[in-house]
Amino acid sequence: MPTSLLIVGHANTGKTSLIRTLIRDHEFGDIQNYSGTTRHVEKISLQLNDQPLLDLIDTPGFEDSIGLWQTRQTPDYASFSNEQWLNQVQQDTRLHTDFEQEFKILKQLSRCDIILYVIDIRQAPLGKYLDELNILACANKPIVPILNFCNAQDNYEQDWKRYLAERQLHAYVRYDTVAFYLADERKLYQTLQSLLPEQYDALQTFIKQREHDAELRLKNAKRALAHTLVQCATGQQICQTQAPTAEETYRFENRIRQLEKNFIKQCLSLYAFREEDVALDDLALQEGQWQQDLFDADTLKSWGISTGSSAAAGAAIGAGIDILTAGLSLGAATTLGALIGAGVQTGRSFKTTLMNKLRNRSVLALKPESLIALLWRGTQLIEHLHHRGHAAQLAYQGSDATAASKAELARLEKLFAKIGQRTEWQGLPQAPEHELISQLQHEIAQRLPENE
Ligand SMILES: Nc1nc2c(ncn2[C@@H]2O[C@H](COP(=O)(O)OP(=O)(O)OP(=O)(O)O)[C@@H](O)[C@H]2O)c(=O)[nH]1
Ligand SMILES: [Mg+2]
């Protein structure tokens, strides 16, 4: 039998949000920034090995706990025990209209195993909340207070803790359903473990599984980013003219943006979010962020041909096929082969053909600066999704915080320049095993915190 957790609290404290975050599903229930959103009791289960382990029961919020608790003091119920009052008051048809929502909660109280009392700690512990706890205590069930909105700057956390301690409620859990932390969730399940000794092992397995799932999501997201960066870095586009046409440039830019969009889609799917949860502007690509001239000294340098000037570069190419092929990585040689529409060959005819072809061609390739921007955008997105609760309602629009040292920038530029030469990695289904890829993975990992 699954353990049944009754999620209760004042209206609008985040009860439905808590359930969405725990089940990692934004479809559950309805969430609004006003009271009285949930009007009916609704149940959903957290599973372990395809079996329900914990039933989460959402309830409408308390609206008039003060009025309801006053009935406890009336002569009708004076001689009753708390539990008797709880059962009898629900039968009183005169009260049904006044306490319609409260009675839905009371009905569940006798059926549940543990009560999770959700508190909006931006509110001080006032009388109405205290009466909610008085009412809940009548059920003689364990109560776990959830201090929700714990990331809100102005809050009454200390007051609530003091007040809860006075009621012997020491095992509270801090939470924020919008900014999610695995450690908060773990604390919740550990608290349940202490209350449910017979479920200890199952809950332990469940905690481990949640941690493992989170680790896997992070690992796969990092891997997808590395793959995307490699595809962006190595995706050179050969143009039919000396300077790329507007159409060729558009096609190139579009391809890069599409690669980033695919990465975002992969992450959304990994973290079970919807497309509307992320609203990132298109990557800004301005002219000059890619290399256009084959005789550009930098372009040739990145292909392993060292020259003093563009003119010298042209001369260097003309100087002999040996210089060209000797200095080239396999990737660059493949690109040259593709340029002349043939495989990589040697010999005089190749040199002549190559010279003629190169003079009338250009190559579009993303520059390291743009790849660094892609790396930052990617790691920021992963970090956001890793900590995004499924109750969050605002779309992620990116972040500007990209503090990087000069040394880091130089290191990344160098790394991307090297990866860019590996055009043989273009189109591979995943980044290959290689020292450069390990370095890239290390750079990504450095910008992302450990799984927490
Ligand atoms: N920033 C922040 N917002 C939250 C948090 N929890 C809930 N909210 C917001 O608070 C509002 C109310 O959340 P709900 O989950 O609908 O609250 P509820 O307790 O189920 O409300 P009722 O069903 O009306 O009783 C929504 O706008 C949520 O986005 C939180 O931890 N942090
Ligand atoms: Mg609700």
Sheet with 42-48, strands from edge to edge, namely 42-48, 51-58, 3-9, 114-120, 143-148, 173-174
Q: Is the CB of 31 under 6 A from ligand 1?
A: yes
Q: SS3 string of 405-448?
A: CHHHHHHHHHHHHHHHCCHHHCCCCCCCCCHHHHHHHHHHHHHC
Domain-located, residue 142: yes
Do 185 and 220 lie in a common domain?
no
Contacts of 86-93 with C-beta under 8 Å, sequence gap 24+, read 86/110, 86/135, 86/138, 86/139
Domain-located, residue 290: yes
- At residue 43, what are phi and psi to the nearest 5 degrees? -120, 145
What ligand 1 atom has the least distance to the C-alpha of 36?
24
Domain-located, residue 91: yes
Do 176 and 272 lie in a common domain?
no
Q: State the pLDDT at residue 357.
A: 55
**Average pLDDT over the chain, rounded to whole?**
84
Do 221 and 188 lie in a common domain?
no
Do 295 and 163 lie in a common domain?
no
Q: State the pLDDT at residue 29.
A: 87
User: What's the pLDDT tens digit per position in 160-177?
Assistant: 999 999 999 988 999 998
Do 188 and 232 lie in a common domain?
no
Do 364 and 333 lie in a common domain?
yes
Report the 10 Å Cβ neighbour count for 9.
25
Whether the CB-CB separation of 259 and 427 falls below 8 Å is answered with no
Do 221 and 164 lie in a common domain?
no
Q: Is the CB of 33 under 6 A from ligand 1?
A: yes
Whether the CB-CB separation of 293 and 313 falls below 8 Å is answered with no
Q: State the pLDDT at residue 311.
A: 44
Q: Is the CB of 61 under 6 A from ligand 1?
A: yes
Q: Is 71 exposed, middle or buried (0-12, 13-18, 19+ CB in 10 A)?
A: middle
Q: State the pLDDT at residue 239.
A: 78
Q: Is the CB of 258 under 6 A from ligand 1?
A: no
Do 70 and 98 lie in a common domain?
yes
Enclosing domain of residue 408: 215-447
How many residues are there in the chain? 452
What residues are neighbours of ligand 2 (ion), with CB under 5 Å?
15-16, 37-38
Q: How confident is the model at residue 180 (pLDDT cuts 50, 70, 90)?
A: confident
Query: Of 162, 195, 228, which residue sits at a domain end?
Result: 195
Q: Is the CB of 14 under 6 A from ligand 1?
A: yes
Q: Is the CB of 353 under 6 A from ligand 1?
A: no
Q: Is the CB of 40 under 6 A from ligand 1?
A: no
What is the count of structural domains for the chain? 2
Domain-located, residue 278: yes
Q: How confident is the model at residue 336 (pLDDT cuts 50, 70, 90)?
A: low
32 C-alpha to ligand 1 centroid (Å): 7
What value does the mean pLDDT take over residues 249-270? 93
Q: Is the CB of 11 under 6 A from ligand 1?
A: yes
Do 22 and 128 lie in a common domain?
yes
Counting ligands in written order, the one closest to the CA of 391 is: 1
Task: Report the alpha-carbon distance of residue 284 to residue 307 in Å, rounded.
Answer: 31
Which residues, including other chains, have CB under 8 Å from residue 35's CB and lie 6 or more apart? 11, 12, 61, 63
What ligand 1 atom has the least distance to the C-alpha of 30?
16
Query: Of 195, 224, 244, which residue sits at a domain end?
Result: 195
Residue 94 clears pLDDT 60, i.e. is over it: yes
Query: In the chain, what percentage of residues exceed pLDDT 70?
Result: 81
What value does the mean pLDDT take over residues 415-444? 92
Nearest-10 Cα torsion for 43, 46, 47, 52:
-40
Domain-located, residue 100: yes
Residue 283 clears pLDDT 90, i.e. is over it: no
Q: How confident is the model at residue 245 (pLDDT cuts 50, 70, 90)?
A: confident
Which residues, including other chains, have CB under 8 Å from residue 285's CB and lie 6 or more apart? 253, 256, 257, 370
Domain-located, residue 326: yes
String of b and e for 163-172 (b: at least 16 CB within 10 Å)? bbeeeebebb
- Report the nearest-CA residue for atom 8 of ligand 1: 14
148 C-alpha to ligand 1 centroid (Å): 9
Do 301 and 355 lie in a common domain?
yes
Quick one: CA dihedral 3, 33, 102, 127, positive or negative? positive
Domain-located, residue 170: yes
Q: State the pLDDT at residue 451.
A: 66
Bridge-based pairing state of the strands 237-239 and 114-120: unpaired
Counting ligands in written order, the one closest to the CA of 9 is: 1
Where residue 22 sits, what CATH number does that domain have?
A: 3.40.50.300
Quick one: CA dihedral 307, 310, 316, 322, positive or negative? positive
452 C-alpha to ligand 2 centroid (Å): 27
User: What's the pLDDT tens digit per position in 379-390?
Assistant: 999 999 999 999
295: which 2 tokens? 């005789």
Q: Is the CB of 15 under 6 A from ligand 1?
A: yes
Q: Is the CB of 87 under 6 A from ligand 1?
A: no
Residue entry with tokens 């608790």 = 69
The structure's pTM equals 0.84
Q: How confident is the model at residue 33 (pLDDT cuts 50, 70, 90)?
A: confident
Q: Which of 6, 18, 27, 31 to mutate to test the pocket of ligand 1 (most atoms within 8 A of CB)?
A: 31
Q: Is the CB of 38 under 6 A from ligand 1?
A: yes
40: which 2 tokens? 């009916």
- Beta-sheet strands, E only, within 187-274: 237-239
Greater confidence, 21 or 340? 21
Bridge-based pairing state of the strands 3-9 and 51-58: parallel
Q: Is the CB of 393 under 6 A from ligand 1?
A: yes
- Report the nearest-CA residue for atom 23 of ligand 1: 38
Do 413 and 326 lie in a common domain?
yes
What value does the mean pLDDT take over residues 100-114? 94
Domain-located, residue 59: yes
Do 170 and 278 lie in a common domain?
no
Q: Would you tell me the crossing angle of helices 435-447 and 200-234 to the nearest 10 degrees? A: 120
Whether the CB-CB separation of 268 and 254 falls below 8 Å is answered with no
Q: How confident is the model at residue 370 (pLDDT cuts 50, 70, 90)?
A: confident
What value does the mean pLDDT take over residues 326-336? 48
Q: State the pLDDT at residue 314.
A: 43
- Report the nearest-CA residue for atom 26 of ligand 1: 33
Task: Report the alpha-carbon distance of residue 174 to residue 281 in Å, rounded.
Answer: 34
Q: Which of 58, 177, 188 to mutate to test the pocket of ligand 1 (most atoms within 8 A of CB)?
A: 177
Quick one: which of 227, 203, 252 has its CA closest to 47? Answer: 203
Counting ligands in written order, the one closest to the CA of 29 is: 2
Residue entry with tokens 């507007």 = 246
What ligand 1 atom has the least distance to the C-alpha of 176?
31
Residue 415 clears pLDDT 90, i.e. is over it: yes
Query: Of 195, 227, 260, which residue sits at a domain end?
Result: 195
Residue 350 clears pLDDT 70, i.e. is over it: no
